[in-house]
A and B are shown apart, each in its own frame.
Chain A
């Protein structure tokens, strides 16, 4: 009995031991297996799991919006429905007649039936039916409930203001690629980056949120704020259209600039087009004339010639210049004034737009200095707005000027410019003689709101001293005053400085200049004493009248009036243009300071006296003028023209060898002497300063009314005539 009990107890103990052993060993095994899964084979298993649970979703970045300077939307992207089909799946439904399907869809979506039927009959798994369809079209297609027909979301570009700033904004194609304007020039930043994002999903295909999804902002396109003011842009476009239609002109353009900052506030062209329907626009409508179309500026160049002459000291406000009763013979051909003048002061030459007077002043200034001052004001140089297709205008090297060119370039014939360039140059006078770089992009912000780029106003060059700029401003105020050629540009309550321009267009068919085709312009700024806006108005081939003062000046007035009111610029009551011309005459005692430094840091004594046009042989190039340019820009330009460059010093280019305008062999060494930029405004040089530098080139003492110009004896033949008034 005892044995049985003892055996039973022994058996129980054994079973307890086995059970406990199991309880102890099993967790060890489980932990061993867990260790194997979590540590030893973790990486491999994780990769396998991710392969099953993760899929990559293509991220289509939203194209960045474009805003005006006050944050008003100019271009935005919104999701639109794109309709696509799987033709194989569509054909599986035996009861479907493909011809009928194509006909129905073509009718609903307003697309061509034949190409659609061809696409539906193809062997592909995916064909687009219509991209960026309207909401109504999308709804109608969904109502058809056709198998194999699907709708997905795609971003579509909209321009809520239609034609407004069409040429500045440009447009993007159906795939979101910029094709013109800022859409093209800033395409890389607007577009964002295409990428794919790993997404975790469960067995039912539902997306499970993961940390990767946080990063989608990095791929989005940047948002761009322009310097353009929507309201000013509207004024410019409205008045330009009115002016073009009234004058029955071929086309026109307007540019508004903030002269102190160089910001482009408006840039308008006519004819224009609706950005939301850019495909239907003609090439003529799409052309950004303000930056891509060159024209001879005519008399609008006179203030720049005058500024150069005043800065060089070759003319003084008190001088009286013989205007030869309205006719001057140069190189056997005649230059005319619109009216016959006997003697005029420099202020009257500007206000009455005397070609002969300014031609004489240009001759006294000399070809090299005239070329230099016009180049410094930006003529013949690309403005640098960043807009696609921007051109520089043309200002040939002075060595290649003929006698007639030297006589007509002072009043803007024989050279060309663009509306933007003209506005920027005039802004230099308004901005105390400082030429600014044009700014169109105010700010670039990424999708997280961080500022990526914010261009600051930058002075390109101090072209003329502040005092000279003020003097020329006073003279230009006379243009809009009594007896001036631009009285139509005068704005009630404000002092307006400006200049009319009327230039004949070249006649490629018959050579020379056309007697029927003109470019009429007005460029100016206001208020003249504290300039807030510079406006350039250019009308191409006006028919009703051709004088800049008659067709462009009224448009200028209306735009300036509305813009000043919009900006809240207080009126300057009590002063008019005629008051200002008297003011300008009152400065007749102006003389450059004795201790003045030369305006341009050039060694004039070394200038090659080459008045004849240069003919270049093979392998020869003209040496560019790099004086005053920063080292990097000078280096780039010299390299582009195949020069080997040797730099000495630091700062901006103060001297160069070979000299500007001379002829050199391609690949020759161009030595550039750099010096620290002048921090303070230079003061006007004396005629005697130039005389000290170069007795040969310095002008003779300017006796009143006796500014010299070559006087050929050939018979008169009327040619170029820049009229005004």
Chain B
């Protein structure tokens, strides 16, 4: 009877200790992942800033006057006369919008 009680008691204590250990482990994992997330968030912000910079650079390179200057100057391109333009596909429809209120 006494031995059985001691066994159960020991098992209960071990179980509680294990549960506490798991709890501590989860806490530490949580903290670790939070650090990782915070780092990732920081990295995301840096990437966003970099993307904005690259978008700005791309927009600068896509300036219409720059493209035109390169097309005309470097590649010798010219605007075709209307008679040399053949439209493919359906003719765009004139849009009539709205109704009188």
Instruction: Flag if A72 contacts B59 (CB, 8 Å).
Output: yes
Q: A76-B59, A209-B34 are in contact. Are A571 and B85 (CB under 8 A)?
A: yes
Give per-residue flags for B28-65: 1 if the beta carbon is below 8 A from chain A beta carbons, else 0: 00010111111001000000010011011001101111
What are 24 pairs between A and B in contact, CB < 8 Å?
A23-B9, A23-B13, A73-B56, A76-B56, A78-B56, A79-B49, A158-B56, A160-B62, A209-B33, A209-B37, A231-B64, A260-B95, A436-B97, A436-B98, A459-B97, A459-B101, A461-B101, A492-B81, A565-B82, A568-B87, A569-B92, A677-B101, A678-B100, A681-B100
Check if A502 is an interface residue, CB within 8 A of chain B: no
Main secondary structure of the interface of B (DSSP, over half): helix
Contacts of B65 in A (CB 8 A): 234, 238
CB distance from B65 to the nearest CB of A (A): 6
Chain A residues near B93 (CB-CB < 8 A)? 530
Number of interface residues of A (CB under 8 A): 59
Given the complex of chains A and B, what is the CA–CA distance between A569 and B52 in angstroms? Answer: 35
Bound complex: CA A568 to CA B82 (Å): 11
**Residues from chain B with Cβ under 8 Å of A260 in the complex:** 94-97
Contact B96 A459 (CB under 8 A): no
Within residues 658 to 711 of chain A, which ones have a CB less than 8 A from any CB in chain B?
A: 677-681
Taking the complex as formed, is A261 at the interface, i.e. its CB lies under 8 A from any CB of chain B? yes
Residues of B within 8 A of A492 (CB): 81-82
Contacts of B97 in A (CB 8 A): 260-262, 431, 436, 457, 459
A163 to B, closest residue via Cβ? B65
Is B78 an interface residue when CB atoms closer than 8 A count as contact? no
Whether B100 contacts A208 by the Cβ 8 Å rule is: no
With both beta carbons as reference points, the residue of chain A lying nearest to B93 in the complex is identified as A530
B85 surroundings in chain A (CB, below 8 A): 565, 571
Q: Is A389 in contact with chain B by the CB < 8 A criterion?
A: no
Nearest-neighbor residue (CB-CB) of B62 within chain A: A72
Residue of B nearest to A493 (CB): B82
Q: Considering only CB atoms and an 8 Å cut-off, how many residues of chain B contact the other chain?
A: 39
A415 to B53, CA, bound (A): 49
A43-61 contacts to B, CB under 8 A, are none
Closest 3 A-B residue pairs measured CB to CB? A530-B94, A209-B37, A160-B59
Kindly list chain B residues whose C-beta atoms are within 8 Å of the C-beta of A677.
100-101
Q: Within 8 Å of chain B (Cβ to Cβ): is A386?
A: no
Q: Does A652 contact B (CB under 8 A)?
A: yes
Question: Smallest Cβ distance from B75 to chain A, in angstroms?
Answer: 18
Complex contacts, A72 vs chain B, CB 8 Å: 59, 62
- Residue in chain B with minimal CB distance to A564: B82
The yes or no answer to B79 lying at the interface (CB within 8 A) is: yes
Give the CA-CA distance A681 to B9 in the complex, in Å.
Answer: 93
- Complex Cα spacing A231 to B63, Å: 9
Bound complex: CA A210 to CA B31 (Å): 10
Q: Does A132 contact B (CB under 8 A)?
A: no
CB nearest to B100 among chain A residues: A462
- Which of A231, A434, A562 meets B100, CB within 8 Å? A434
Known: A206-B38, A231-B64. 17 other contacts (CB 8 A): A73-B59, A160-B56, A160-B59, A161-B60, A164-B63, A207-B38, A208-B35, A209-B33, A238-B65, A260-B94, A260-B96, A531-B94, A571-B82, A677-B100, A678-B100, A679-B100, A681-B100
B79: A residues at CB distance < 8 A: 562, 565
A570 at the interface (CB under 8 A from B): yes
Query: What's the nearest-Cβ distance from chain B to residue A233, in Å?
Result: 8
A436 surroundings in chain B (CB, below 8 A): 97-98
Cβ contacts A193-205/B at 8 Å (1 or 0 each): 0000000101000
Q: Is A632 an interface residue (CB 8 A)?
A: no
B85 to chain A, nearest CB (A): 7
How close is B57's CB to chain A, nearest CB, in angstroms? Answer: 8
Whether, in the assembled complex, B99 has its beta carbon less than 8 Å from a beta carbon of chain A, the answer is yes
Nearest opposing residue in chain B for A261, CB measure: B97
Knowing A78-B53, A493-B82, A571-B82 are in contact, say whether A234-B64 is a contact too (CB < 8 A): yes
Instruction: Give A680 to B99 CA distance when docked, in angstroms.
Output: 8
A161 touches B100 (CB 8 A): no
* Per-residue B-contact encoding for A206-217, CB less than 8 Å = 1, 0 else: 111110010000
A76 touches B64 (CB 8 A): no
Cα–Cα distance between A434 and B9 once the two chains are bound (Å)? 91
* Other-chain contact of A434, B37, B60, B98 (Cβ < 8 Å): B98
Contact assessment for B98 and A161 in the assembled complex, using a CB-CB cutoff below 8 Å: no
A238 surroundings in chain B (CB, below 8 A): 65
Contact check: which of B34, B53, B56, B95 meets A210 at CB < 8 Å?
B34
